[in-house]
Amino acid sequence: MRKVSIGIDDTDSKQGMCTTYVGAVLLDRLKSLGFRLVSWPRLVRLNPNWHLKTRGNCAVCIDVKCRGSSLPVLRETALRTVEELAELGCETTNPGVVLFSSSTVPAELKRFSKTVIQDVVEIEDAERLAQRIGAEYYKFKLGRGIVGALAAIGETFQRDSTYEILAYRKAEYRGRRRVVDAESVVMMDKATFPRTFDNIDPTTGEIRITPHTPCPVLFGIRSQDPEAALEAFRMVKVDEPIERWMIYRTNQGTDAHLRYSSINTTRPFTSAILTGNVSRRPRILPGGHVVFTLSDGDGEIDCAAYEPTRRFRDAVKGLEVGDLVRVYGGVKKKEGLPLTLNLEKIEVLELKKNLLKMNPVCVVCGKRAKSEGKGKGYQCETCGRRFPSGSESYVERQRDLIPGFYEVPPRARRHLAKPLVRIRGI
């Protein structure tokens, strides 16, 4: 018996399907054929900034025990499942399937996976790697999905991981409005938070476990451990039958897409953690977006909090020139606009003191003297008494903003972004 990893990617489109559903169907089919699961199925989110990404930009991997004589059945079942379920009629859907037989994951494959999550990788890079490590790969149409399929096999969650339990709809219900009992979700959240997270957006009360696309997913619950996922799943009430469900181990909510960088080395289509000082105060753009400029001494970059982030923008508005901050987010470049980091969260490290200049008080009249110009001192307008330059005083103006972390609400959070509840607890 040997371990065989099956990676799948790029099966969905904006019109439907979900790669996690393809994985769930495949696993059930393999179980019915006698194959035994080795570890938790893996759901791996890839670079969220890549312009050719699929809707959710996720790939899946299933590890099973397989006898050599059973490999043809395993291969045929995987390829047939993808061919049956993938949105092959969509021009931008280009599935890929990778089979890799090994008891361990090569270091080269782990590095490749990290690169696919954080950067840009071409199909040719994936093909060369598959050939070097002896992995089988199969391309449907352009076969771009082999990139994510290999990355899913190479992701071993050495640094961090979460779980997600996904409930899937029967075919006849897809495309209809999802009827998930909101009160049961509220009760579930109260009972399981913070072991489960991002179930509800606290700023709007919006239920966040249901997607808004015609895909097979009915709802999904993210959790710190599989036990919490199953407990929460049993508490949610729905008004339609569940076709099947699946627990995935995943890199969601781990910040796996981010890497520390300097502004000058930051590139479009990547995600970065940058530290620097506010060099241009926040300004409000049409549509309610808030943008400020960050400098690290060698370069400058605009940092944007968009309208859907709601109250997160209030923290950004409170920044002033000179404040020291650390920003987290994806980097994009639009024609005619400067390089911009789309904020996912911000850590205010140090606030510049906001000093208010106070003119001297006349000892005779008790009123504040008026400045006569820069470096020319002050004069009381009532009695004419004069005061030299330097006799003014300064008081520190209280800031509304305080040092610490600020994050976008769940409604605006990317799949990979780590929520603060996972950074600092409650």
Mean pLDDT of 101-116: 97
Output the pLDDT for position 396. 82
Q: What does the pLDDT look like over 385-404, one tens digit per residue?
A: 889 888 888 888 888 899 99
Question: Which pLDDT band holds residue 77 (cuts at 50, 70, 90)?
Answer: very high
Domain hosting 119: range is: 2-154
**Dist CA 65 CA 33 (whole Å):** 12
Q: Please say which residue of 232, 250, 268 terminates a domain.
A: 250
Which pLDDT score is estimated for 374?
Answer: 84
Question: Does the structure show a pLDDT above 90 at 118?
Answer: yes
Q: What is the side-by-side order of every strand in the sheet holding 378-379?
A: 370-371, 378-379, 386-387
Q: How many structural domains are present in the chain? A: 4
The answer to whether residues 378 and 404 belong to one domain is: no
User: Is there a single domain that holds both residue 197 and residue 276?
Assistant: no
CATH number at residue 167: 3.90.600.20
229 has pLDDT over 50: yes
Domain boundary among 250, 282, 307: 250
pLDDT digits (tens, 9 = 90+) for 155-172: 999 999 999 999 999 999
276, 325: one domain: yes
- Kindly list the distances between the CA atom of residue 270 and the CA atoms of 2, 116, 253, 257, in Å, as whole numbers in the listed order: 37, 10, 17, 8
State pLDDT tens for residues 133-152. 999 999 999 999 999 999 99
Q: Quick one: what percent of the chain has pLDDT higher than 70?
A: 99
- Both 166 and 89 in one domain: the answer is no
| pLDDT above 90: percentage of residues in the chain | 80
pLDDT of residue 426: 47
Q: What is the mean pLDDT of residues 175-196?
A: 96
Does residue 320 register a pLDDT over 70?
Answer: yes
CATH number of the domain encompassing residue 107: 3.30.70.2200
Residues 46 and 144 in one domain: yes
**CA proximity to 22, closest of 61, 72, 74:** 61
In the chain, % helix, strand, coil (3-state, to 5) comes to 25, 30, 45
Measured between alpha carbons, how far is 185 from 201 in angstroms, rounded to an integer?
12
Give the DSSP H or E segment for 44. strand 42-45
pLDDT in the model for residue 42: 98
pLDDT tens for 324-348 read 999 999 998 877 778 899 999 999 9
* 141 and 26 fall within a common domain: yes
**What band does 367 get if pLDDT is binned at 50, 70 and 90?**
confident
Question: Please, which pLDDT band fits residue 99 given cuts at 50, 70 and 90?
Answer: very high
**Average pLDDT over every residue of 198-209:** 94
Check: CB of residue 312 under 8 Å from CB of residue 349.
Answer: no
pLDDT-derived band of residue 178, with 50, 70 and 90 as boundaries? Answer: very high
Domain boundary among 112, 135, 154: 154
Please indicate, yes or no, whether residues 235 and 291 belong to a single structural domain of this protein: no
Which of 81-85, 270-274, 292-296, 355-359 is predicted least confidently? 355-359
In a 13 Å sphere around the CA of 177, the CA atoms on its Cβ side amount to 2
- In the structure encoding, which two tokens stand for residue 217, read together? 């997913």
Pair (131, 232) in one structural domain: no
> In this structure, are 283 and 295 located in the same domain?
yes
> What is residue 54's predicted lDDT score, i.e. its pLDDT?
67
Convert 32-47 to b/e letters by CB count within 10 Å (16 or more is b): eeebeebebbbbbbbb
Tell me whether strands 271-284 and 258-260 are parallel, antiparallel or unpaired: parallel
Q: Does the pLDDT of residue 249 top 80, yes or no?
A: yes
Q: 381 is written with which tokens?
A: 């307008």
Mean pLDDT of 116-120: 95
Average pLDDT of the chain is 94
Res 425: pLDDT: 58
Task: Please indicate, yes or no, whether residues 72 and 203 belong to a single structural domain of this protein.
Answer: no
Q: Are residues 195 and 125 in the same domain?
A: no
CATH of the domain at 326: 2.40.50.1010
**Among the ranges given (14-28, 117-131, 161-175, 374-388), the one the predictor scored with the smallest mean pLDDT:** 374-388
Q: Name the more confident of 53 and 384.
A: 384
At 275 the pLDDT is 98
Residue-level pLDDT at 385: 85
Q: Is 55 a residue whose pLDDT tops 70? A: no
| 142 and 169 within one domain | no
